[in-house]
C-alpha cells in the first residue's frame, strides 16, 4: 500500500499551534492503529537551529541520534509518544548544502541548477526518506512558517509535485489559520484566512481541511462562511478555540470528528477504536484543584518561555503525577546578581536551573544553587544547571574561590568544569557538541537511583563541557555523590548532594524524554520534594 501524507501549512500568522495540531492529529491516527511518522520542514537557511539564539527560535530540541531540531519535534514526541530521528526535520540550509556539494563534485556537469527541479527534487527525496526509514503508513508533514513567506515557496511547490506523483487520493492538505478579533466590536474576522487560502491556491494547492484558530468561541455561521469562501467542505472547517490545557487539543479535535474525517478521506480503515480515556483523565487531573507548589526557574532567556518549552512541559507532567499544581516562577539569573528577584526565589518550594550557554547570568545561577544548598531547598540542575551546582560547591564548600568552568573563565585556576579532550581541537560550531543519547549507570543507594528505580538509563545530551575528574575525590570527600556515571566510569553524568533532601543535577537533558503519561523520574522527584517543602 502506498504511503499516505497529511501536509500541514500555516496561514495568517505563525505561532498559532500548527505543530501542536499536527502532533494531536498524529495521536488520533496512532490511536486508530496506524503507524505514523512526522516530519517538520523548516524554510530558514540555517542548517539546523543549533546555532540560533533561543530568543530567535525557542528551545533546540535534541533527538536520540543527536539531531538538533525544531521545538515542534518535542510536541510530536510528547503527544504521539514516539522517538524521532534526524530525518524528521530538515531546513532550506540542509537542502542547499547538499545540492551545492553535489554541484562541486560535478554531479550536474553541463547543467544549470535551479529551484525547480533540483531544490524541489531534493526536498521530495528527503520527504521520501521518512516513509522509507520508518515504514509508516501515514506521514504527517508540517511546513514551518506561513504561506506567502518567500522562503517557503520551494517547499510548497515540492508538496504540490509530490501530490501529483503519489496521487491526490493519498494526500491531504490541512491549513491551520488564525481568526483575529476586532477589539471594539469583538467580531471575529475570516478575511485573512480567505487571503491565505487564495495564496495557497495561487501555487496550485487547495486545502482539504481548514483548522481555524481563535481566542473566542467560533460559531457555526463563521465556519459556513469559511467553507464557502475557501471552497472547503463544511465538515472540514474545524473551529479551534484556544484552550488553557495544551493536552486537551487531541480531545477537542477528536470531538470535532477530525480523526475519522482524515481516516475516511485517505480511504483507510482503522484497526481499532481510539481510546482517549487516559487523555481525558489527564486533562481532568490538570483542571482539578490541587495544592500549589512554586518552582523558581532561574534562567537566561526567561522573557521567551518557548526557550524552555520541554522543561516547562516536564514540570507539568511531574506535577500531574504528584497531584499538585506547579506554578513556574520565572527568574532572570542576572537579576539575582543585582539583588533583584530574590523574593521569588525565597518563596519558591523548589529551584530549577536549566541549560544555557555563555557567561551572562552565570553568577546569578551560582547564587541560586548556593541558596538551594544552604537552605535545603529542592534543586534540579539541567546541564548548565549541573555545572553551576559543581562550581558553587567547589567555591563555597571546598573553598576554591576561583573555581569556574573554562567556558566562562579560560584561565581559571580551578576549572572544575572543563572542555572534553575531544572537544579541544574542534573549531566548527554547528553540530559539534556531545549530542544525543548516551548510557548512564546509576549508583546504588543514591536518591537518584531511588528516583529512577532502575540501574541504567539512557539520556539525551547537548553540551561541550564536562565535570573535571581531577576534582572528583575532593568533591566526594565533602559530600557530593556521583550518582550517575558513564558506564566506563569516565564521565560524571549525575551529581547529588548527600546531606540535602533533594539536590540533584544531570549533565544531560532529562526534559527531552518526559511524556505526559510517562513523567521523567528526576522531575517527579523534584516536585515530590517540593510538595513536602512549605516555606523556608
Q: How far is the CB of 462 from ligand GLN (least distance, A)?
A: 5
In whole angstroms, give the CA distance from residue 392 to residue 400.
9
User: Which residue, judged by CB position, is nearest to ligand GLN in the bound state?
Assistant: 355
237: Cβ contacts below 8 Å, ≥ 6 apart: 209, 210, 212, 223, 224, 226, 227, 230
**CA Rg value for the chain:** 25
| Min dist. Cβ of residue 84 to ligand GLN (A) | 19
Q: Which is nearer to ligand GLN, 252 or 419 (CB)?
A: 419
In this chain, which stretch among 93-101, 394-402, 424-432, 462-470 interacts with ligand GLN, using CB under 6 A?
A: 462-470
Does 407 contact ligand GLN by CB under 6 A? yes
The stretch among 160-168, 297-305, 457-465, 490-498 that binds ligand GLN (CB under 6 A) is 457-465
Q: What's the closest the beta carbon of residue 144 comes to ligand GLN, in angstroms? A: 23
Q: 41: which residues sit within 8 A by CB, 6+ positions away?
A: 89, 90, 91, 123, 127, 141, 142, 143, 144, 155
Region class of 382: left (phi > 0), else alpha (psi between -120 and 50), else beta: beta
With beta carbons less than 8 A apart as the criterion, state whether 39 and 73 touch: no
**Neighbouring residues of 260: CB distance < 8 A, sequence distance ≥ 6:** none
Name the grid cell of 87.
530525518
Task: Decide whether 411 or 534 has the Cβ nearer to ligand GLN.
Answer: 411
Q: What is the DSSP letter of 60?
A: P
User: Does 464 sit near ligand GLN (CB under 6 A)?
Assistant: yes
> Which residue stretch of 335-343, 361-369, 443-451, 458-466 sits at the interface with ligand GLN (rule: CB under 6 A)?
458-466
DSSP of 455-514: SEEEEEEEESEEE-GGGHHHHHHTTEEEEEE-TTS-SEEEEEETTSSSEEEESS-GGGG-
> For ligand GLN, how many residues bind (rule: CB under 6 A)?
10
Please give the residues from 284 up to 313 whose contact with ligand GLN meets the rule CB under 6 A: none
Assess 465 for contact with ligand GLN (CB under 6 A). yes
Q: What angle do CA 454, 460, 463 make, to 5 degrees?
A: 130
Residues assigned a catalytic role: 383, 509, 511
Least distance (Å) between residue 418 CB and ligand GLN:
10
Minimal distance in Å, beta carbon 407 to ligand GLN? 5
Minimum CB separation of residue 328 from ligand GLN in Å reads 18
384 binds ligand GLN (CB under 6 A): yes
Instruction: Determine if 463 is a binding residue for ligand GLN (CB under 6 A).
Output: yes
Stretches 219-227, 242-250, 325-333, 461-469: which one binds ligand GLN (CB under 6 A)? 461-469
Nearer to ligand GLN, 247 or 482 (CB): 482
Q: How far is the CB of 231 from ligand GLN (least distance, A)?
A: 47
The alpha carbon of residue 343 and the mean position of all alpha carbons in its chain are separated, in whole angstroms, by: 30
Q: Which residues are CB-contacts of 359 (< 8 A; sequence separation ≥ 6)?
A: 407, 408
Q: Does 383 bind ligand GLN (CB under 6 A)?
A: yes
* Residue from 96, 330, 357, 375 in contact with ligand GLN (CB under 6 A): 357
Q: Which is nearer to ligand GLN, 358 or 445 (by Cβ)?
A: 358
Footprint (CB under 6 A) of ligand GLN, residues 337-356: 355-356
Backbone angles phi, psi at 486, to 5 degrees: -65, 150
Q: By CB under 6 A, which span of 44-52, 202-210, 224-232, 460-468 interacts with ligand GLN?
A: 460-468
Residue 462 touching ligand GLN (CB under 6 A): yes
Element at 76 (helix H, strand E): helix 72-80
Contact in structure between 329 and 344 (CB atoms under 8 Å)? yes
Question: For residue 275, how many C-alpha atoms fall within 13 Å in the half-sphere facing its CB?
Answer: 4
What residues make contact with ligand GLN under the rule CB under 6 A?
A: 355-357, 383-384, 407, 462-465
Amino acid at each position: 500500500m502506498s504511503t499516505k501524507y497529511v501536509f500541514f501549512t500555516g496561514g495568517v500568522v505563525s505561532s498559532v499551534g500548527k505543530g501542536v495540531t499536527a502532533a494531536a492529529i498524529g495521536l488520533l491516527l496512532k490511536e486508530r492503529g496506524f503507524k505514523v511518522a512526522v516530519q517538520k520542514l523548516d524554510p530558514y537557511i540555517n542548517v539546523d537551529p543549533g546555532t540560533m539564539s533561543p530568543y530567535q527560535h525557542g528551545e533546540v530540541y535534541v533527538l536520540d541520534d543527536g539531531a538538533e531540531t525544531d521545538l515542534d519535534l518535542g510536541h510530536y514526541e510528547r503527544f504521539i509518544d514516539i522517538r524521532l530521528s534526524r530525518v524528521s526535520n530538515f531546513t532550506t540550509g540542509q537542502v542547499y548544502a547538499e545540492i551545492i556539494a553535489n554541484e562541486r563534485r560535478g554531479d550536474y556537469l553541463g547543467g544549470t541548477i535551479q529551484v525547480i527541479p533540483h531544490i524541489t527534487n531534493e526536498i521530495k527525496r528527503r520527504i521520501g526518506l521518512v516513509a522509507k526509514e520508518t515504514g509508516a503508513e501515514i506521514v504527517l508533514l508540517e511546513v514551518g512558517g506561513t504561506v506567502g513567506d518567500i522562503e517557503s515557496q520551494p517547499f510548497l511547490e515540492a508538496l504540490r509535485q509530490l501530490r501529483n506523483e503519489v496521487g491526490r487520493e493519498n494526500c491531504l492538505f490541512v491549513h491551520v489559520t488564525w481568526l483575529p478579533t476586532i477589539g471594539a466590536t469583538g467580531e471575529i474576522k475570516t478575511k485573512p484566512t480567505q487571503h491565505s487560502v487564495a495564496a495557497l491556491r495561487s501555487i496550485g494547492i487547495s486545502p482539504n481541511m481548514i483548522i481555524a484558530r481563535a481566542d473566542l468561541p467560533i460559531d457555526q455561521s463563521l465556519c459556513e462562511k469559511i467553507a464557502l469562501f475557501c471552497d472547503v467542505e463544511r465538515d472540514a472547517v474545524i473551529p479551534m478555540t484556544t484552550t488553557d490545557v495544551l493536552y486537551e487539543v487531541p480531545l477537542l479535535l477528536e470531538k470535532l470528528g477530525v480523526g475519522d474525517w482524515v481516516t475516511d478521506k485517505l480511504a483507510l480503515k482503522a484497526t481499532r477504536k481510539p481510546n482517549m480515556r487516559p487523555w481525558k483523565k489527564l486533562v481532568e487531573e490538570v483542571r482539578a484543584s490541587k495544592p500549589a507548589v512554586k518552582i523558581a526557574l532561574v534562567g537566561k532567556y526567561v522573557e521567551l518561555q518557548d526557550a524552555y518549552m520541554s522543561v516547562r512541559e516536564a514540570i507539568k507532567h511531574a506535577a500531574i503525577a504528584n497531584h499538585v499544581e506547579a506554578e513556574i516562577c520565572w527568574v532572570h539569573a542576572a537579576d539575582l546578581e543585582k539583588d533583584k528577584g530574590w523574593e521569588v526565589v525565597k518563596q519558591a518550594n523548589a529551584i530549577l536551573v536549566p541549560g544555557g550557554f555563555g557567561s551572562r547570568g552565570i553568577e546569578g545561577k551560582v547564587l541560586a544553587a548556593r541558596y538551594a544548598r544552604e537552605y535545603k531547598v529542592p534543586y534540579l540542575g539541567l546541564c548548565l544547571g549541573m555545572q553551576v551546582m559543581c562550581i558553587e560547591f567547589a567555591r563555597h564548600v571546598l573553598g576554591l574561590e576561583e573555581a569556574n568552568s573554562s567556558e566562562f573563565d579560560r584561565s581559571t585556576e580551578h576549572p572544575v568544569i572543563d572542555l572534553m579532550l575531544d572537544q579541544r581541537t574542534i573549531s566548527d560550531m554547528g553540530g559539534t557538541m556531545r549530542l544525543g543519547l548516551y548510557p548512564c549507570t546509576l549508583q546504588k543507594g543514591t536518591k537518584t537511583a531511588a528516583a529512577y528505580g532502575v540501574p541504567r538509563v539512557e539520556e539525551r545530551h547537548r553540551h561541550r563541557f564536562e565535570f573535571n575528574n581531577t576534582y572528583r575525590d575532593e568533591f566526594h570527600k565533602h559530600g557530593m555523590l556521583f550518582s550517575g556515571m558513564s558506564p566506563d566510569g569516565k564521565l560524571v553524568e549525575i551529581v547529588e548532594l548527600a546531606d540535602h533532601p533533594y539536590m540533584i543535577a544531570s549533565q544531560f537533558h532529562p526534559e527531552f524524554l518526559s511524556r505526559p503519561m510517562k513523567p521523567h523520574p528526576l522531575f517527579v522527584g523534584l516536585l515530590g520534594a517540593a510538595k513536602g517543602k512549605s516555606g523556608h
